């Protein structure tokens, strides 16, 4: 091992990205391509009665305008396809902003304008669009992806009844959108019986499944290419209608078709974080020991499916509590199906971690101490003590760096000039998954290595970390290893979602690197032309691409010389299982509030995280900065507004859907415990991407309470709520 793993190596794809050499999905120039543009419904519920395409067809450059009467019949795929229907298969409209016609033209501008010229007559039906209006009809949805919506241990109701102290409150968060900078895009090319899709997707393998199912093809007849993403945040995890419709349009037209969704279309085309209500009840002893947690969430689902995406998993395991009851209810609205959104468990944390803060004031126990008293040392999956969980260490490290010991406990007690200063904290955690993955590794005749895996670079540093892992295992310099991702012709590997990439792919990558290294050593010691001929394999060391005999450094060979002599590629595969789990952390926040104007600033953030072994401090820190920034947006501004009458999104653009700018985000002090998790086969690293940020909205709300004594339970915490 060369010690590359763990180093804060800079992005290996950084130069390609900043110079424009990196080819994102829509950058591919396909000869003969037509530009597609979707025509979206303008009603929330009803039927298409008539579509008049004449004016659109007469527009210059327009090649075709397809409607439900033209589209081939497709088969509705299961997950990862995110919708309970395929649009344009019939006349039904299930939500506002649903595709109802597909325009093809020579240029994008022509297609866009022609889309404006398509005239559609609808028969509209009454739509229900507000969660608040339908709460009475909340129901327990069926399992989604095998996960129950009701889970209990012990008897929470009885324990609440008997509890010495109770908290009983409701917390809410609105509809939110992912808004990756790169819009969703698909370019479909049919070549004989095969379909190639240049797709902006977080999962080429899963997308292939959805597409091949829809078109009733064999998976090997579909190739999906997605080497770079300009962000996804869950929006590009599942597969959405526009991908299927574009492939169908290309088939009908007999020409390649490129579709790039407009920003406004992205507010109804790729899921969102559903609006949530969390009713949380805590029971505790006077000493602050939790005796009961009841968490009933209510989320928007649709009239025709009941998928709950933002689960309350962490309520079940974050604290050691014998009586826990979690229910995830749904309310049917005439809105699009929601989806996963970074980080799904944040909605649950807003409730749980605010309720914990409320409990701490109720009991007069420091919020950190309350959490320490309820620390859960038992892995819920196994029932055994965690092999390596350092959450307590996170509380300690972050509290110390923050200066928490100097905190005056009472609300409204700290002033600085004309501002009130408030300190708040919360626990962070998120589930990570394991998705069966393989990687292929080839040593070329030039002695350099290429790693291939059909996982993706979502922007988090997958190319970099896999290159580190491979180079480290091979004993090569970093720049002798090239990593290739995002193509279904590579060995099948993890979806870039659910914090699963590292736990799923690092093990196979490191295993492949070790087998390739062993294979090369075996070649050397068996090669009479090698200075290492006859040396026992276990006595060969490799550093920076050179092979030495241990104890006799004069006997040396190199990958380059050896492979040149060998004249044939060395090709290996790596695979291996891992177990899903959780990463942990603590976030401490300082806010400043100008009380007269209700002006809020987040002025300081300190985090400490336990993610097992840190594979790359730089990319890990990037995740923390990104997660905290998301958390700030979630807490103080993000909010999709849907018109109550038409169910149209009123702010479908980045000028009115606010996300934080630099001035809203202080610099973040990110600490890592960095101790190996013996249970993880990913070089003892755990999945991490979605953990940071999960506690930030609650920590900000808790800091607001500490600053001015006002408890806010619904995000966004806008100025009007602070007056």
Contacting residues toward other proteins, per CB under 8 A:
42, 60, 109, 112-113, 116, 264, 596-599, 601, 636-637, 641, 643-646, 648, 650-652, 655-656, 658, 660-661, 663-664, 718-720, 723
Apex 114 CA angle, 112 and 117, nearest 5: 120
Residue at token pair 């969390």: 278
The minimum distance between CB 257 and other proteins, in angstroms, equals 21
Upstream peptide bond of 343 is cis (omega within 30 degrees of 0): yes
Q: Which is nearer to other proteins, 318 or 704 (CB)?
A: 704
User: 3-class DSSP state for residue 517?
Assistant: helix
Q: Which is nearer to other proteins, 165 or 641 (CB)?
A: 641
Q: Taking the chain, what is the end-to-end CA distance rounded to the nearest angstrom?
A: 58
Q: 640: closest CA among 178, 132, 135, 134? A: 178
Cα–Cα distance, 109 to 106 (Å, whole number): 9
Q: Which is nearer to other proteins, 571 or 664 (CB)?
A: 664
Residue at token pair 């002025």: 603
Q: 247: closest CA among 296, 211, 273, 209? A: 211
The minimum distance between CB 302 and other proteins, in angstroms, equals 21
The minimum distance between CB 68 and other proteins, in angstroms, equals 20
Q: Are 430 and 500 in contact (CB under 8 A)?
A: no
Listed in sequence order, the residues at least 6 apart from 417 whose beta carbon sits closer than 8 Å to its beta carbon are none
Q: 447: closest CA among 353, 546, 357? A: 546
Q: Which is nearer to other proteins, 424 or 716 (CB)?
A: 716
Q: Are 250 and 257 in contact (CB under 8 A)?
A: yes
The minimum distance between CB 660 and other proteins, in angstroms, equals 6
Helix (H) or strand (E) holding 131: helix 131-134
Q: Are 81 and 19 in contact (CB under 8 A)?
A: no
Catalytic residue among 199, 438, 457, 690: 690
Distances (CA, A) of 487 to 224, 313, 451, 513: 6, 32, 12, 20
Cα–Cα distance, 400 to 373 (Å, whole number): 18
Report how many helices (DSSP H) and strands (DSSP E) the chain contains, helices first: 17, 27
Listed in sequence order, the residues at least 6 apart from 670 whose beta carbon sits closer than 8 Å to its beta carbon are 607, 608, 609, 620, 621, 624, 625, 692
- Written as six digits, the tokens of 207 are 């997308």
The minimum distance between CB 116 and other proteins, in angstroms, equals 6
The minimum distance between CB 651 and other proteins, in angstroms, equals 5
Give me the sign of the Cα torsion angle 672, 673, 677, 678. positive
Q: Is residue 690 annotated as a catalytic residue, yes or no?
A: yes
SS3 of 15-33: the string is HHHHHCCCCCHHHCCCCCC
Q: Which is nearer to other proteins, 31 or 645 (CB)?
A: 645
- Written as six digits, the tokens of 125 are 């039906």
The DSSP annotation for 302-348 comes to ESS-----S--HHHHHSB--S-EEEEEEEEEESS------SSTTHHH
Cα–Cα distance, 554 to 234 (Å, whole number): 53
The minimum distance between CB 386 and other proteins, in angstroms, equals 39
The minimum distance between CB 664 and other proteins, in angstroms, equals 5
Q: Are 577 and 434 in contact (CB under 8 A)?
A: yes
Catalytic residues: 690
């Amino acid at each position: 091992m060369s010690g590359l793993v763990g180093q804060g190596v800079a992005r290996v794809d950084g130069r390609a990205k900043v110079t424009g050499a990196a080819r994102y999905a829509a950058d591919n120039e396909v000869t003969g391509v037509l530009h597609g543009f979707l025509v979206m419904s303008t009603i929330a519920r009803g039927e298409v009665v008539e579509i008049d395409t004449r004016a659109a067809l007469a527009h210059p450059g327009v090649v075709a305008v397809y409607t439900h009467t033209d589209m081939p019949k497709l088969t509705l795929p299961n997950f990862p396809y995110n919708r309970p229907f395929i649009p344009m298969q019939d006349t039904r409209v299930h939500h506002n902003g649903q595709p109802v016609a597909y325009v093809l033209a020579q240029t994008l501008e022509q297609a866009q304008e022609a889309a404006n010229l398509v005239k559609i007559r609808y028969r509209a039906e009454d739509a229900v669009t507000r969660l608040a209006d339908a709460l009475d009809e909340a129901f327990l949805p069926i399992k989604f992806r095998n996960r129950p919506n009701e889970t209990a241990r012990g008897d929470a109701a009885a324990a609440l009844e008997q509890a010495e102290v109770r908290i009983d409150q409701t917390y809410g968060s609105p509809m939110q959108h992912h808004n990756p900078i790169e819009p969703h895009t698909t370019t479909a090319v049919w070549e004989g019986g095969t379909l190639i899709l240049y797709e902006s997707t977080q999962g080429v393998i899963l997308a292939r499944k959805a597409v091949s199912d829809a078109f009733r093809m064999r998976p090997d007849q579909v190739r999906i290419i997605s080497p770079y993403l300009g962000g996804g945040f869950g929006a590009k995890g599942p597969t959405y209608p526009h991908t299927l419709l574009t492939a169908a349009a290309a088939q009908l037209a007999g020409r390649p078709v490129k579709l790039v969704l407009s920003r406004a279309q992205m507010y109804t085309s790729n899921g969102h974080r559903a609006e949530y209500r969390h009713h949380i009840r805590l029971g505790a002893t006077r000493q602050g020991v939790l005796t009961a947690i009841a968490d009933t969430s209510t989320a928007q689902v649709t009239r025709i499916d009941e998928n709950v995406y933002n689960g309350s998993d962490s309520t079940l395991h974050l604290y050691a509590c014998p009586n826990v009851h979690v229910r995830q209810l749904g309310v049917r609205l005439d809105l699009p199906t929601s989806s996963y959104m970074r980080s799904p468990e944040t909605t649950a944390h807003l409730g749980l971690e605010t309720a914990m803060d409320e409990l701490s004031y109720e009991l007069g126990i420091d919020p950190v101490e309350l959490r320490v008293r309820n620390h859960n040392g038992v892995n819920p999956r196994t029932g055994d003590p965690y092999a390596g969980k350092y959450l307590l260490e996170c509380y300690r490290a972050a509290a110390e760096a923050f200066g928490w010991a100097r905190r005056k406990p009472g609300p409204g007690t700290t002033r600085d000039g004309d501002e009130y200063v408030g300190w708040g904290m919360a626990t962070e955690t998120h589930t990570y998954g394991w998705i069966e993955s393989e990687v292929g590794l080839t040593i070329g005749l030039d002695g350099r290595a290429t790693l291939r895996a059909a996982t993706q670079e979502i922007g988090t540093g997958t190319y970099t970390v896999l290159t580190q892992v491979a180079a480290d295992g091979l004993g090569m310099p970093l720049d002798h290893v090239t990593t290739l991702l995002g193509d279904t012709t590579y060995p099948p590997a993890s979806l870039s979602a659910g914090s699963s990439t590292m736990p799923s792919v690092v093990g196979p990558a490191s295993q492949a690197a070790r087998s390739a290294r062993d294979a090369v050593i075996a070649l050397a010691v068996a090669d009479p032309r090698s200075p290492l001929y006859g040396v026992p394999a276990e006595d060969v060391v490799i550093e920076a691409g050179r092979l030495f005999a241990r104890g006799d450094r004069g006997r040396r060979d190199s990958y380059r010389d050896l492979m040149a002599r060998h004249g044939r590629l060395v090709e290996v595969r790596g695979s291996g299982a891992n177990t899903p789990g959780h990463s942990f952390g603590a976030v401490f926040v300082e806010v400043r509030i100008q009380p007269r104007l209700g002006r809020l600033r987040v002025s300081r953030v300190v985090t400490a995280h336990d993610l097992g072994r840190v594979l790359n401090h730089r990319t890990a820190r990037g995740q923390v900065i990104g997660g905290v920034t998301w958390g700030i947006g979630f807490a103080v501004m993000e909010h999709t507004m849907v018109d109550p009458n038409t169910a149209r999104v009123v702010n479908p653009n980045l000028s009115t859907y606010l996300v934080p700018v630099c001035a809203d985000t202080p610099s973040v002090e990110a600490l890592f415990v960095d101790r190996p998790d013996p249970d993880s086969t990913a070089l003892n690293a755990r999945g991490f991407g979605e953990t940071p940020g999960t506690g930030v909205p609650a920590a900000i709300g808790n800091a607001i309470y500490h600053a001015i004594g006002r408890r806010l339970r619904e995000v966004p915490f806008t100025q009007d709520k602070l007056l």
